[in-house]
Structure 1
Amino acid sequence: MNQEGALRADARRNRERILAAAEAVFLEQGAGAALEDVAKRAGVGIGTLYRRFPTREALLAATYNARFLSLAAASRARDDGRDPAGALRAYLEDLVTGTTLYRGFATAIGTVLQSGTPGCHATTEEGERLLRQAQASGAVRPDVRFQDLVCVVTAISLVLEQEGALEQGRAPEQAGASPPRVRHLTDLFLDGIGRR
């Protein structure tokens, strides 16, 4: 292997180590974990981490890329004649549930989805498609934008994180999302954006 090929292989290994470390650290400490902890766990310098991922949101987007791709694929796969409002509801529930995986991820989801990774692009594209369908069917008001959906996903996720901590007597960083509560809050939101 020539020197350039060796450098590329080394960079690829560093990237993989950083992503694996980020996954572990974000699961343990939340999305706001110190990036120095990620670099240390990956066995790389903080400069190496920042060369690959210049912002926290870029690292979150890359770490979450496969999950976003799966979310979009699952949404497309179940779009088998489901009513447009139901398809949008299922997508939003999945996005809320996914957003609660890393504590504090909800506060960055809007920026993360603009990161340009394949997963972010697929998730955004799918949400926009489902929103257009729901609007065309008359189930959703025409003035609703995808960014409005992201704001609501953020709000629901933050509420679930806090409620989970209070209900279970745990610190907010240990909270999880209850599927019935996700459905309830999503339904409330969809009722609010329905055509009057």
Structure 2
Amino acid sequence: MTTPQPPTDDPPLRADAARNRERILAAAEEVFGERGADASLDDVAKRAKVGIGTLYRRFPTREALLAALSDARLLALADASRARDATHEPLEAIRAFVIALVHHASHYRGLATSLGAVLHSGTPGCHASGAEGQRLLLRAQQSGAVRQDVTFDDIVCVVTAVSLAVEQGGSPAARIPHLVGIFLGGIATL
């Protein structure tokens, strides 16, 4: 099952532009993996063997580049969440989704600080994961498991906070479920 993609008015890329885009993405994956999401975009362009202007034509902001790199992982995250929907109660479904999103936000050091902007970037993966998170939240609120005043932006803020706590070394990744549980205890109506 695939996620419906938001419509796009973007024309298909020329072959050379598509190759440059792929080289930039591959270089960014390496550079961000080595140095974190705040690594120099000049270094990304150099590793991709393109000019910085080419990088900015394809990805006008760092968040646009991070969103493109995150796209496949976020699509998979949304698909996995929908696949387990029938077997999880609403609060447990949100727990699993939030834990998966924290793991995603920890993919590169520093990604968590841009997570909100990345999720609003409009790529298919960002659209799918945002829609899935909102769907899960609404389902939990309609079941009475989660307070009505909680928004998806609140969840993104908590994902960012937990990701930063893990990233800063204060909490090992194994503590993610515990930290998410503390958050869910605060939003649960039970």
The question of a shared fold, defined as TM-score above 0.5 by the shorter chain, is answered with: yes
Of the three residues 10, 15, 18, the one matched with 2:21 is 15
1:185 equivalenced with 2:170 (yes/no)? no
Residue 183 of structure 1: how far off its partner (Å): 0.3
Of the three residues 133, 155, 159, the one matched with 2:161 is 155
Q: Which amino acid aligns with 1:67?
A: R
Of the three residues 104, 114, 119, the one matched with 2:120 is 114
Cα RMSD over matched residues? 1.2
Of the three residues 54, 60, 66, the one matched with 2:66 is 60
How many residues align? The count is 178
Counterpart Cα distance in 2 of 1:66 and 1:41: 22
Counterpart Cα distance in 2 of 1:138 and 1:182: 25
1:130 equivalenced with 2:130 (yes/no)? no
Moved over 4 A (4+): none
Structure 2 partner of 1:195: 189
Residue 81 of structure 1: how far off its partner (Å): 3.3
Q: Which amino acid aligns with 1:188?
A: I
Structure whose CA Rg is larger? 1
2:131 is paired with a residue whose SS is helix
Structure 1 portions without partners, runs of 5+: 1-6, 168-176
Q: Which amino acid aligns with 1:75?
A: S
TM-score normalised to structure 2 length: 0.91
Structure 2 portions without partners, runs of 5+: 1-12
Q: State the identity %.
A: 65
Q: Deviations over 1:55-74 (max 9, x none)?
A: 00000000111011111111
2:66 is paired with a residue whose SS is helix
Counterpart Cα distance in 2 of 1:186 and 1:25: 29
